[in-house]
């Protein structure tokens, strides 16, 4: 098909993006897909030969490149090679997979855990395996796209409640017929706003209305709780979440996703979830890296304290400069800009001044709430954060986002 002469819907969609990207590139406002040439110690990167401070990383505890984790990956490659013999259910399961799943279960204080090849796929396959036509799945409005896609794929009735609004969650639960199977699903730390789910109230409502509870800990694993075990530890609650989902691609510097919970649940997923049955197993090096990372988190608790202190410094500095950072209390910090143009402009100036930050614009966030989605990690030093704050505040004043 020739994109230039035909005019069907596919062609129009492709052309729309071609033009949008081209226009941004022409105006030096395209910041996506930049290849990082080198990662230097976790807080700095080299992009097009320039060293920049990294403020867009998901490696919250600064574990990318940790010597113990690298060594574990290399040893697994030497032992097993770089691939598997297929899908987990058949010949793909290696001892590195069972070790990883036992490690996750121990870390999460659950009976068992199952892993998949990505967090995205985990949400898709787990929600659509557990839920089906006639069931109700009730999801926070700001939940991650992979949760939304899993809910849609399940064919269940899909209802959304206002972000972290427990009165609205209760209304949605009341609206579902009493005898119907219900699942409430939410992020623990919300990926664009950085705020924390009201877990105690969510649990109370799930009990009251007899609903299953699934929590996505993509951003809270290693971040919340004194020992980094996540949102239940943060609120001092013990095993109140039925389906504890998380990723191995953020704080854990690998790739993959998991669900931890009761052993019958995990066994069911091993035999019924399509991503486990029809998609290749995690590569051995990545599985071993993830296992070692869970151990490092427990052995180096200072990282959790440091990322939290760094988050506090960053949020306070931005607020002091006059920025709106919404309700974040974590190392994920929205720096509100208003229009998409302002967010692009702020990114442009920051990047020219060697700060690697990225904009989030509509439709990923509502119109008028365009922002930088900035992050700090345990790899940052306080004086680096002070410098970043200086750069962002100066640029914010130049654009008129703050006074």
Ligand X SMILES: *Cc1c(COP(=O)(O)O)cnc(C)c1O
Q: Which residues bind ligand X (CB under 6 A)?
A: 118-120, 123, 144, 146, 187, 191, 216, 218-219, 247, 249, 257
Cβ closest to ligand X, residue 125 vs residue 146: 146
Let me know if 250 is a catalytic residue. yes
Q: Strand (E) positions, 106-146?
A: 112-116, 136-140
Cβ closest to ligand X, residue 124 vs residue 321: 124
CA–CA dist 298, 170 (Å, integer): 37
CA–CA dist 376, 135 (Å, integer): 40
* Encoded tokens for 7: 């005019």
Let me know if 118 is a catalytic residue. no
Contact of 297 with 97, CB cutoff 8 Å = no
User: What's the closest the beta carbon of residue 34 comes to ligand X, in angstroms?
Assistant: 18
> Which of 244, 250, 306, 345 does the annotation list as catalytic?
250
> Within a 13 Å sphere around the CA of 138, how many CA atoms are in the beta-carbon half?
30
User: What's the closest the beta carbon of residue 22 comes to ligand X, in angstroms?
Assistant: 28
Cβ closest to ligand X, residue 144 vs residue 342: 144
H or E element at residue 365: none
> Which of 108, 144, 182, 219 does the annotation list as catalytic?
219
> In whole angstroms, how far apart are CA 203 and each of 136, 144, 199, 263?
17, 20, 6, 21
Give bridge partners of residue 245 from the DSSP assignment. 216, 259
Cβ closest to ligand X, residue 138 vs residue 321: 138
User: What's the closest the beta carbon of residue 143 comes to ligand X, in angstroms?
Assistant: 7
Contact of 381 with 370, CB cutoff 8 Å = no
- Work out whether the CA dihedral 139, 142, 143, 145 comes out positive or negative: positive
Cβ closest to ligand X, residue 129 vs residue 247: 247
Contact of 164 with 195, CB cutoff 8 Å = yes
Label residue 347 exposed, middle or buried (CB < 10 Å: 0-12, 13-18, 19+): buried
Sheet strands side by side (includes 243-247):
112-116, 257-261, 243-247, 212-216, 182-187, 136-140, 157-161
User: What's the closest the beta carbon of residue 246 comes to ligand X, in angstroms?
Assistant: 8
DSSP 186-247: EESB-TTT--B--HHHHHHHHHHTT-EEEEE-TTTTTTSSTTS--HHHHTT--S--SEEEEE
User: What's the closest the beta carbon of residue 16 comes to ligand X, in angstroms?
Assistant: 26
Cβ closest to ligand X, residue 212 vs residue 258: 258
> Which of 57, 128, 146, 191 does the annotation list as catalytic?
191
User: What's the closest the beta carbon of residue 190 comes to ligand X, in angstroms?
Assistant: 8
Cβ closest to ligand X, residue 105 vs residue 185: 185
User: What's the closest the beta carbon of residue 119 comes to ligand X, in angstroms?
Assistant: 2
Taking CB atoms, the residue at the shortest distance from ligand X is 119
Torsion of CA 269, 274, 279, 280, to 10 degrees: 20
Q: Which positions are catalytic?
A: 191, 219, 250
């Amino acid at each position: 098909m020739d994109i230039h002469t035909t005019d069907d819907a596919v062609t129009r969609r492709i052309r729309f993006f071609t033009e949008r990207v081209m226009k941004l590139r022409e105006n030096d406002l395209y910041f996506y897909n930049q290849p990082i040439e080198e990662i230097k110690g976790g807080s700095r990167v080299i992009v097009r030969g320039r060293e920049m401070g990294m403020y867009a990383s998901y490696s919250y505890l600064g574990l990318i490149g940790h010597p113990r984790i690298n060594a574990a990956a290399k040893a697994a490659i030497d032992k097993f090679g770089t691939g598997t013999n297929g899908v987990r259910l058949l010949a793909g399961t290696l001892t590195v997979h069972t070790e990883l799943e036992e490690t996750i279960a121990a870390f999460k204080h659950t009976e068992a855990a199952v892993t998949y090849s990505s967090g995205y796929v985990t949400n898709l396959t787990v929600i659509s395996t557990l839920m089906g036509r006639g069931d109700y799945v009730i999801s926070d409005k700001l939940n991650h796209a992979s949760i939304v896609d899993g809910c849609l794929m399940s064919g269940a009735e899909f209802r959304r409640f206002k972000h972290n609004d427990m009165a609205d969650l209760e209304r949605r639960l009341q609206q579902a017929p009493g005898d119907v199977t219900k699942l409430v699903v939410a992020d623990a730390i919300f990926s664009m706003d950085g705020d924390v789910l009201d877990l105690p109230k969510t649990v109370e409502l799930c009990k009251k209305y007899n609903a299953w509870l699934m929590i996505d800990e993509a951003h809270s694993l290693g971040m919340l709780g004194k020992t980094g075990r996540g949102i239940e530890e943060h609120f001092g609650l013990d095993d109140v979440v039925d389906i504890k989902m998380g990723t191995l691609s953020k704080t854990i510097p690998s790739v993959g996703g998991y669900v931890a919970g009761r052993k019958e649940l995990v066994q069911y997923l091993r035999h019924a979830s399509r991503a486990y049955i029809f998609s290749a197993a995690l590569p051995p090096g990545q599985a071993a890296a993830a296992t070692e990372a869970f151990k490092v988190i427990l052995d180096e608790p200072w990282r959790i304290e440091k990322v939290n202190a760094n988050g506090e410094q960053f949020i306070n500095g931005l607020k002091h400069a006059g920025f709106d950072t919404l309700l974040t209390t974590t190392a994920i910090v929205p720096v509100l800009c208003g229009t998409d143009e302002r967010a692009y402009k702020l990114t442009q100036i920051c990047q020219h001044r060697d700060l690697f930050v990225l904009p989030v614009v509509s439709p990923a966030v509502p119109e008028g709430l365009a922002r930088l989605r900035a992050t700090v990690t345990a790899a940052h030093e306080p004086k680096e954060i002070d410098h970043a704050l200086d750069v962002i505040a100066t640029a914010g004043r130049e654009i008129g986002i703050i006074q």
